[in-house]
A and B are shown apart, each in its own frame.
Chain A
């Protein structure tokens, strides 16, 4: 066979074979011992590029084929479910104002309207999250989002398994720990949920770059975890810790409802002490 043909074929075979080979290789005792990963060894830095591409694919699937960059642009606006989109999208160009011929052709050929997968189809983006973390096991976003979709499908055990793999690969990640806390909460294991959320809170309080809150997505993950931790403390009767957690959350997200929550918790916390004092006075 000619060389010209050989190289493209080898590249395609390598890409296709990398995932099953990696799974097999990771199962070997020697690989476990050294923490080796054949994908990391073969692809080097390229794997991060592939992982990012897989993440964009997952987003593209979630938006029914709309490219990643366009979906970001649309994210602030309205979107439709798959059932509604055919009516809403029909003849509705994405860009406002008059379109050039190229724009008209481009919008007829490429996906231009924003819509989301129907609930029954939501699993379709899952393969890309798994590919993402196979290529870059330090891609926390892949673990957290993949686990989120698994949880939405009611697959709590698979979600937990996926996150545990993420925790093993990223022991210092607050986002992974918070997601684990959330899944344990969903499973009804409140002890473990609180334990993981506390670990996540501590990690966020530290200054590790991996836990930097750099965008609104990571910020909302953090706020959600703090809110859940506060609620779980309250449920366990740990009012003072709940109040502390809400105070921390209030620093990031000041709002009236949170203020009221904190005030109620302080009252509840002081009530037993007041009752004790009254009893002493009566004596």
Chain B
């Protein structure tokens, strides 16, 4: 466990060192500022439009951070040969994979939390209290589950694909699942990640998602995450480095 956290800490340090996060956060703030002042047909103060934009960007940017960070972890370590000194320590290959996953997952959760808090502060400044706060909590929880799913999938695919191909494929999957959802052919056999997006409920202030559904979705995301990580550990264990 200690080894996992040491590896994860190294990944998290990368978030602070790199400029990506700051750039994305600034971009989010600028877009939200711009959209809050938007007027259409002489009308202003569009609550739903602002909520939609804010929450969509928080979701999208955190997924981009999760996928791009997770995609480059293992290929970068292998390419730069820094993986050898790590594995020379008493660190198992499974611990290495899970450590990388934990780091990338925590990075995305930290980023998403900051984006989400900024979004909720912006709503409070606009005196928009139309959405019940437990719905925001549910939205946050479900998206964290989604981040775990996509981080694990990306870590797993990073053993087979280059960082850029992996990022492209996973982002395409993210958009395809979210946009086309249950309309995709053979979709019953594919993961239902669109179930983790309750943006419409938040934007249009609908009722809460029942507790049993939240629990089911948590278990669903956990099982998929565990499956992708198990697959990654199994593949990495047999790999010649």
How far is it, in angstroms, between the C-alpha of A166 and the C-alpha of B210 when the chains are bound?
46
Known interface pairs A155-B41, A162-B41. Does A108 touch B203 (Cβ–Cβ under 8 Å)?
no
Measured CB to CB, the closest approach of chain B to A154, in angstroms, equals 11
How many residues on the A side are at the interface (Cβ–Cβ under 8 A)? 43
Q: State the CA gap A60–B198 with chains docked (Å).
A: 14
Query: Which of B19-27, B110-118, B221-229 contacts the other chain?
Result: B19-27
Contacts of A123 in B (CB 8 A): 43, 46
In the bound complex, residues from chain A placing their C-beta under 8 Å from that of B209 are 108-109
14 A-B pairs within 8 Å (CB atoms) are namely: A1-B20, A2-B72, A3-B164, A5-B20, A8-B171, A12-B61, A16-B27, A16-B34, A106-B182, A109-B213, A111-B201, A111-B204, A127-B46, A130-B41
- Secondary structure class of chain A's binding surface, majority of residues: helix
- Give the contacts of A1-20 with B (CB-CB under 8 A): 1-5, 8-9, 12-13, 16, 20
Whether A65 and B213, one on each chain, are in contact in the complex, defined by CB atoms closer than 8 angstroms, is: no
User: Residue B87 at the A interface, CB < 8 A?
Assistant: no
- CB pair A124–B47 under 8 Å, yes or no, is yes
Contact of A60 among B19, B23, B43, B200 (CB under 8 A): B200
* B207 and A86 form a contact (CB under 8 A): yes
B216 within 8 A of A: yes
Would you call A124 and B164 a contact (CB within 8 A)?
Answer: no
* Cα-based distance from A150 to B197 in the complex (angstroms): 31
Is A64 part of the binding interface, using a Cβ–Cβ cutoff of 8 Å? yes
- Give chain A residues whose Cβ lies under 8 Å from the Cβ of B171: 8
Residue with the greatest number of chain B CB neighbours at <10 A, chosen from A1, A13, A126, A128: A126
Assess the B43–A126 pair: CB atoms within 8 A: yes
- Please name all residues of chain B whose beta carbon is closer than 8 Å to the beta carbon of A102 when the two chains form the complex: 188, 192
> Once the chains bind, are A130 and B206 in contact (CB under 8 Å)?
no
Interface residues of B in 182-241 (CB under 8 A from A): 182, 188, 192, 194-195, 197-198, 200-201, 203-204, 206-207, 209-210, 213, 216-217
Query: Is A127 a contact partner of B68 (Cβ separation < 8 A)?
Result: no
Are B210 and A108 touching (Cβ within 8 A)? yes
| Cβ of B54 to closest chain A Cβ, rounded Å | 13
**Which interface class (under 10, 10 to 19, 20 to 34, 35 or more) fits B?**
35 or more
Interface residues of A (CB under 8 A from B): 1-5, 8-9, 12-13, 16, 20, 60-61, 64-65, 67, 86, 89-90, 102, 104-106, 108-111, 121, 123-124, 126-130, 146, 150, 153, 155, 157-159, 162
List B contacts of A109 (CB < 8 A).
195, 197-198, 201, 209, 213, 217
User: Contact between B47 and A127 (Cβ–Cβ < 8 Å)?
Assistant: no
Given contacts A102-B192, A127-B49, are A9 and B23 in contact (CB under 8 A)? yes
5 A-B pairs with least C-beta separation: A65-B204, A65-B200, A158-B41, A108-B213, A124-B48
Name the B residues within 8 Å of A105 (CB-CB).
195, 213, 216-217
Residue from B61, B192, B200 in contact with A111 in the complex, judged by beta carbons closer than 8 Å: B200
Question: Which chain A residues lie closer than 8 Å to B201 at the CB level?
Answer: 65, 109, 111
Contact status B19-A1, CB under 8 Å? yes
Contact A106 B204 (CB under 8 A): no
A20 partner, pick from B27, B34, B163, beta carbons under 8 A: B34
